[in-house]
A and B are shown apart, each in its own frame.
Chain A
Amino acid sequence: MKINRIKKITRSTRVAQENAADSCCGSNDTETASCCGPRMVIAGGEITDKVPGFLDWVGTAAEKVPRIATSLSYADHIGACLARWGINRMRYIVPPGRYAIGTPGPDAPVLVTGNYKMSFDLVRSALSGRNVWLLVLETYGVNVWCAAGKGTFGTAELIRRIQKTGLHEAVNHRRLFLPILGAPGVSAQEVAKRTGFSVRYATIRAQDLPAFLDNGMVTTPVMRKIGFTTYDRLVLVPVEVVLTLKSIALFGGAVFLAALLANGLGAAVLMTLAYLGAVLTGVAVVPILLPWIPGRSFAVKGVLAGVVWSAALYLYAGGSSWNVTTAVAAFLALPAICAFYALNFTGCTTYTSRSGVKKEMHLGIPAMGSAIIVAVVVLVAGRFL
C-alpha cells in the first residue's frame, strides 16, 4: 500500500495490489483510525447510469443493478494516470453497491472490493467474460489495503453493504470472495455470525481472479504471495514526489534565501540544488533501487544514497574549491535529508512493519535532526574562521 500511498498509496494497492503502493496503513483499528495522515472524507454517492463502464440495468424494477463493462475507456486510463500523479486522487471514487459483470445469476460468485476507482477498474477489467457479482464497499475512495488498515474496508461496512444491497435475496449461496489485502479490516467469523455469509480470501492481485475462478476457487500459493517489483515501486514515485512538493518549496526556499543572504547567488543556487538532489534521492532513487542498496533499514539505505549524492556533488560541483566546513556540512546534512525521505517510503512498501518503523524513527529521527543542526552550526562557524 499499502499502493496511492501504499501504504498511501500507495503501501498498496490490491484486490489488487493495485499498488503495493498505498500500503501504508497496516492497522486493524476501527474506522476512526487516522492511518497515515489526515484526509478529507468523500463518499461515493448513489449508483446511477453514470457509473464508470455502465452498460444497462439488470434485475427487477424494484432492485435494479448496473451491469458494467470489463473493458476500460481512454478516460479510465487517463484518470488512472492522473491519480498516479496525485491529480484528483482523493476524488477518484465510484458509488458503493452491487454491480453485475456479464450475466450473473443467483449462483454466481460474489467478489468484494473497495470504491477507489482504480481498484474498481482493475477488478472489472480482470473479469472479462465472467459472470459475477461485484460488491463494492464504501472505502471513501481509498484502495482496499489502506482502507482495511483504516477499518473502512471492514466488518461493519461489509455487513452493512450485504444488507443494503439485498444480497441475501439476490444469490442462493452464502459465500463471499474478498481480496486478501482486505483481511486486516475484516473479521470473517464476525461476518459469518452476523450475516450467514462465509468469507473466503481469494487473491492479492485482481489479475489473478480469473485463474482463481478457473481453479475451482482455490487460492494457490502464488496468488497469496505479495511482491514489490521494480514496476510496483516505480509507479509509486510520481505521487510521492507530488506529495513532497510543498515541503520542497518551503525548505528549498528557506535554504535558497539563507544562502543568498549569507553567500550570494552562486552559493544559493548550489545549496538549493544540493538540497533538491538529496530530497529526490530519498523520494525517488532509494525506492527504485531499494533491493540493491545495502542494509535493511530504510534510514541506513537513505544515508548511503545520500553519501553517494554528496560525493557526486563534491566531485562534479567544484568540491575541491569548497572550504572544509562546507564539505563537512554537505556530508552531514544531505545524507540526513535523504534518510528522512527514504524512511518515509516505509509507508508505501509491502513489507515493513510498524514495530520496525518505530525503531527506525526512534533511532533515526534524533540522529537526522542532530546531523542537520551540526551541519548548520559548522556552516555558520565556517564564516567566522
Chain B
Amino acid sequence: MFGLRYLEDVVTLRLDQAGCTGCGRCVEVCPHEVFSLEERKARIDDCDACMECGACAKNCPVRVITVDAGVGCASGMINEWLQAHNIRRVGGGSCC
C-alpha cells in the first residue's frame, strides 16, 4: 500500500518456528502478507506490516503464534478506559 505503513518495531507478533507444522493457515488468513512458507515452516517476513488482528494466532492449529490482538482504535481504547473507570456506561453508543 503506497505510503501506508504504520509504526516500526511495535508489533507484538511472535512465531515459535520450531513447533510449526507448515500447514500454511497463517499465510492463508493474513491480509498483509506478513508470513511465508519456507521448507515447510512458516516464517515472519514483514513483522511491521502486522495489524495485530489475531487471525493467525486464532487459526494456528499448533498454537505457535502469539500476538496481543485487540482494538486498534483510539476511540475504542478511550471507551475501554472510560468504562474501566466507570466514567461511561456500557451500551447506547454507536461506532461499530
A28-B11 in contact (CB<8A) = no
Do the beta carbons of A357 and B1 come within 8 Å of each other? no
**B8 in contact with A296 (CB, 8 Å):** yes
Chain A residue contacts of B91, Cβ below 8 A: 38-40
Give per-residue flags for A114-131: 1 if the beta carbon is below 8 A from chain B beta carbons, else 0: 000000000000000000
Cβ contact within 8 Å between B96 and A184? no
The CA of A26 and the CA of B83, in the complex, are separated in Å by 19
State how many angstroms separate the Cβ of B59 from the closest Cβ of chain A: 5
Taking CB as reference atom, which chain B residue is nearest A347? B73
Within 8 A of B (CB), among A6-53: 6-11, 22, 24-29, 33-40
A39 partner residues in chain B, CB cutoff 8 A:
91, 93-96
Residues 199-220 of chain A, each 1 if its beta carbon lies under 8 Å from chain B, else 0: 0110010000000000000010
Q: Contacts A25-B73, A183-B29 known; A355 to B96 CB distance under 8 Å?
A: no
- Bound together, the chains give a CA A1 to CA B72 distance in angstroms of 10
Q: Does A103 contact B (CB under 8 A)?
A: no
Residue of A nearest to B2 (CB): A291
* Contact pick for B74, options A149, A226, A290, A344, CB 8 Å: A344
Beta-carbon contact of B5 and A296 below 8 Å: yes
- Given A290-B3, A360-B7: A353 and B96 within 8 A (CB)? no
B30, B69, B88 pick with most chain A CB within 10 angstroms: B69
- What are the residues of chain B within 8 A of A352 when measuring CB–CB? 6, 51, 72
Report yes or no: B33 in contact with A189, Cβ–Cβ below 8 A. no
* Best-surrounded residue of A2, A26, A34, A188 (most CB of chain B within 10 A): A26
Is B72 within 8 A of A356, CB to CB? yes
Contact B1 A228 (CB under 8 A): yes
Please encode chain A, from 149 to 165, with 1 for each CB lying within 8 Å of some chain B CB and 0 for all others: 11000000000000000
Number of A-B contacts (CB under 8 A): 235
Q: Which residue of B lies closest to A1 (CB)?
A: B96
Q: Which of A28, A142, A344, A355 contacts B12 (CB 8 A)?
A: A355
Other-chain contact of A243, B31, B59, B94 (Cβ < 8 Å): B94
Interface centre among A1, A2, A142 (most CB of B within 10 A): A2
Q: Cβ of B4 < 8 Å from any Cβ of A?
A: yes
B5:A351 contact, CB within 8 angstroms: yes
User: In whole angstroms, how far apart are the Cα atoms of A348 and B95 in the complex?
Assistant: 10
Please, which residues of chain A bring their CB within 8 A of the CB of B25? Answer: 188
Q: Tell me if A330 counts as interface (CB < 8 A to partner B).
A: no
B96 CB contact (under 8 Å) in A4, A185, A344? A4
Contact A11 B73 (CB under 8 A): yes
Task: Report B57 CB to chain A, min CB distance, Å.
Answer: 7
Tell me which residues across on chain B come within 8 A of A77, comparing CB atoms: none
Contact of A26 among B7, B53, B74 (CB under 8 A): B53
CB nearest to B93 among chain A residues: A38
The answer to whether A325 has its CB under 8 Å from any CB of chain B is: no
Measured in the bound complex, the distance between the Cα atoms of B58 and A225 in whole Å is 19
The distance from the CB of B28 to the nearest CB of chain A, in whole angstroms, is 5
* Residue B19 interfacial (CB < 8 Å): no
For B94, the chain A residues whose CB sits under 8 A away are 37, 39, 86, 89-90, 243
**Given A26-B53, A225-B31, A359-B10; A188-B75 close (CB under 8 Å):** no
In the complex with contacts A291-B4, A296-B5, A356-B6, A36-B75 CB distance below 8 A: yes
Give the docked Cα–Cα distance between A201 and B27 (Å): 11
Contacts of B37 on A, CB cut-off 8 Å? none
Residues of B within 8 A of A221 (CB): 33
Whether B58 and A353, one on each chain, are in contact in the complex, defined by CB atoms closer than 8 angstroms, is: no
**Chain B residue with Cβ nearest A192:** B61
Query: Which residues of B are found within 8 Å of A2, using beta-carbon distances?
Result: 73, 96
Chain B 30-59 interface mask (CB, 8 Å, partner A; 1/0): 111100000000000000011111110111
Given A34-B90, A148-B53, A350-B51, 7 more pairs with CB closer than 8 A: A7-B72, A25-B76, A143-B96, A290-B4, A347-B76, A353-B51, A361-B78
What are 14 A-to-B residue pairs whose CB atoms are below 8 Å?
A5-B73, A9-B95, A24-B71, A34-B71, A146-B96, A180-B55, A186-B59, A189-B59, A189-B61, A226-B1, A227-B1, A353-B51, A354-B70, A361-B77
Q: Which 5 A-B residue pairs are closest in the complex by CB-CB distance?
A: A291-B3, A347-B73, A36-B76, A28-B54, A183-B55
